[in-house]
Structure 1
Amino acid sequence: MHDNLADAQILVIKIGTTSLTHENGTVDLHKMDQMARILTDLENGGRRVILVSSGAIGCGMHRLRMSSRPSTLEEKQMAASVGQGLLMELYHRSFDSYYQNIAQILLTKDVFYNKIKRHNAMHTFAALLREGIIPIVNENDAVSTDEIEEERFGDNDRLSAMTANLIGADGLVILSDVDGLYDKDPYKYEDAERISVVEKITPQLMALGDSSASKLGTGGMITKLEAARYATGHGIPTLITSGEDLNVLYEIVNGKNAGTLFLADAPSVK
């Protein structure tokens, strides 16, 4: 059983709102360009990558000059509708600088459970990866609703894990605002220590996630642990690490465990 992702040829990389934006909520263009350069470099080196990206609502908020994150479903969907196209336009500009083709895939949860939709999604991903095109995945916020449980993921951590399983990825990397899972909340305790490798996801481990919430994203550490539990339960090793410096992706593919690695096939709690 490998204790790193150096051999992963198909990687799903999830970047959240906190890793992609400035503190005021606007998109960090330097970060976006850095992501485009590194993912293109990985593609050029023979790997296949899928990016699961948040940021549509944030882009919409900025364009609509909204001073705070919308609270109602309608406002969130409005902001996402405005922002998704802007987000992809920014990605296109960044990736075009490196002559890398990208594609947009918007998903709702029912795609993974409906036989025909799942089949079509799998073939779309396969065709894109075969041609060296990087899929950029997001939840279809404009049409998915909280009222219809089977449509909505709630956060992109879960979406990234389900996407990794759908395409048969060799590894999942979740970029967060912390560099892994700690034995206690690192924002409160200076002596908190990072857990390097997790072989078994236990109730005690999940409890650590409840006390280590991310600061700005819609999900906290608990949602990342739930995503890791799903992915590892489907045979996909998962690494949670900091998205502050995206060069960490080079470290990961070169075999360095720069975060908390959850080993594949680890017994998980339902």
Structure 2
Amino acid sequence: MKIITVDTPLHQRRTVFIADVSTLAKYDNTKKIKFTTPYKILKIPLDFTALVMPIAISVVDVGIDLLEKLRLKKFENIAKGEIDYCAENFNFPAQHPANGVMYACPDYQSDFYIPIANFHDYTFQLKMSAFVEMCASLGAKKCSVIYAEENGKEISLNVKGNGPTTSGDVSFENKTKYKYTNETSFNSEYDFPKPKEINEFVSKWVKTEPSWSTIQRIRINNGITKSRVEINYSDEMGIDTQFSTKLTKMGVNIGGTFNQIKKRKYVYEVEFWEID
């Protein structure tokens, strides 16, 4: 059985079934099949019932064992994590990890595990939070969305919510001029207090957007006061309907009803405080 640790290479733990020790033991495929031998048949009077029943019971037992072995075979290549260890060494959304649930982590925040059902919605929030933190680190004064689309359709929002960041939750309140409304998780405008200093934002998320690397470089080296930044979310990372359906058919709990990816593109105009 493959039990992950913090030292397990990422490609071997992108998705992981997390459970307690007793639950994991049920998915152990290393146990040998125990065949029932009808040895008592020789000590029983040779009437039909006494002859057939032990053999029939033995065949049924073997059949059940074989079916269980085949069922467990499907779990053989699924990485597994012990719940107490994972809770202590990885990060999760609130109320998680839960026993017997399948999780996945995004490559760009590989210590954060999310239930398969909500993977894309929550991963998008993580990326949005990274964007907010980057703007704050660079001394942004205001960030305003100037273009937004989901699944190829231009959208607007009128929602309030919270998003996770390494410094705690960020509160959102949207202001928009668009007519079309849709439920999602991003803020159309952010305001920031003037910082004491500006710093480079270090995160793997920066590698996902060329404009993030550019804005950091020209802000720190040239002190720009306004720029535009894109936020795109379109990579399924292998977590799609086919994958979730496969898990469900195997009897794996994915943490709820699977939410398909919403392919998103947002463009923000970022205004910065003057550097003293």
TM-score by length of 1: 0.23
**Which one has the bigger strand percentage?**
2
State the structure with bigger RCO (CA 8 A, min sep 6), 1 or 2: 1
TM-score by length of 2: 0.23
